[in-house]
Amino acid sequence: MVKPGRPSYTPDDRVPYGTPSRRLRPPKTLVGPEREAFVTLVAASPQGQFVAGDMDLLISWCEATVLARQAAGELTAAGGPVQQDGKTNPWFPIWRDCVKTLSALAIRLRLSPQGRNPTARASKKTVAQLSYYEEMALQESADDEAQPN
């Protein structure tokens, strides 16, 4: 049933006019799919969630994400974790370790539902979709150092 009346206002983390974005940019050393994973994660998270001090954890997250995807792809290509001779595919422990690492980092970086909302108080704030220009800015490195945009 449709609720009567106007829906209540839900704020998002849109950057106000003329204010620079506070999102982290990937370092120059991060390239390829790891860099894409970084930009995707930062763009999908509320601004201000990550600070320069989180950079090492974030990079580890991106590397683990890409390696987990690669291992999962290899396992699929091989037809599953068990080989024809009955032995375990060597990619299986790699995939498992990556998922464990991601699971641990997700709590530290507050990425999982539990990490995002450790208390019962749910924030009504949503993440605003970035404009394409803001995504272009995120793709650029910040002089090898983690600098807010």
Give me the residues that bind another protein (CB under 8 A), please. 14, 17-20, 129-133, 136-137
Q: Least separation, in Å, of the C-beta of 18 and another protein?
A: 5
Minimum separation from the CB atom of position 136 to another protein (A): 5
Dist CA 88 CA 65 (whole Å) = 22
Amino acid at 97: D
Q: State the Cα–Cα distance between residues 72 and 1, nearest whole angstrom.
A: 42
For the bound state, the minimum distance from the C-beta of residue 134 to another protein, rounded and expressed in Å, comes to 9
> Which CB, 9 or 132, lies closer to another protein?
132
Closest approach of another protein to the CB of residue 129, in Å: 6
**Is the Cβ of residue 44 or residue 136 nearer to another protein in the bound state?**
136
* Complex with another protein: residue 9 or 17, whichever CB lies closer: 17
7 or 20: CB nearest another protein: 20
Nearer to another protein, 72 or 128 (CB): 128
Closest distance to another protein from the beta carbon of 135 (Å): 9
